[in-house]
Amino acid sequence: QKEVEQNSGPLSVPEGAIASLNCTYSDRGSQSFFWYRQYSGKSPELIMSIYSNGDKEDGRFTAQLNKASQYVSLLIRDSQPSDSATYLCAVSSGSARQLTFGSGTQLTVLP
């Protein structure tokens, strides 16, 4: 059974701070890793994808992947109230291509 674990939160950070979201996965064969943002009542929106060890930056977002530790994280710099949402970690393994999602972390950025 492939599992993806996230801190359920909720996580609250003040505006302008760095929000750190973490995710671990059980399948060592996993090759593709994604972070989705989901606002209440909306569908998930892809914000980051990462495929190799290390950091990947896109604007205020940085994804970090450590395959040896089976760990992927998302950092949000200069957090804004508009970042308040549930963040979902998703993992894809090999040729399967379907995604296994974590339970999500609810983030609140306080003005």
Partner 1 sequence: SAVISQKPSRDICQRGTSLTIQCQVDSQVTMMFWYRQQPGQSLTLIATANQGSEATYESGFVIDKFPISRPNLTFSTLTVSNMSPEDSSIYLCSVEAPQGGEQFFGPGTRLTVL
Q: How far is CA 100 from the centre of its chain?
A: 12
Amino acid at 89: C
Tell me the sheet residues that pair with 76. Answer: 19, 61
Residue numbers of the site for partner 1 (CB under 8 A)? 32, 34, 36, 42-46, 49, 51, 88, 90, 92, 97-104
- Which contiguous run of DSSP H or E holds residue 62? strand 61-66
CB of 32 to partner 1, least distance (A): 5
CB of 84 to partner 1, least distance (A): 17
| Closer by beta carbon to partner 1, 15 or else 103 | 103
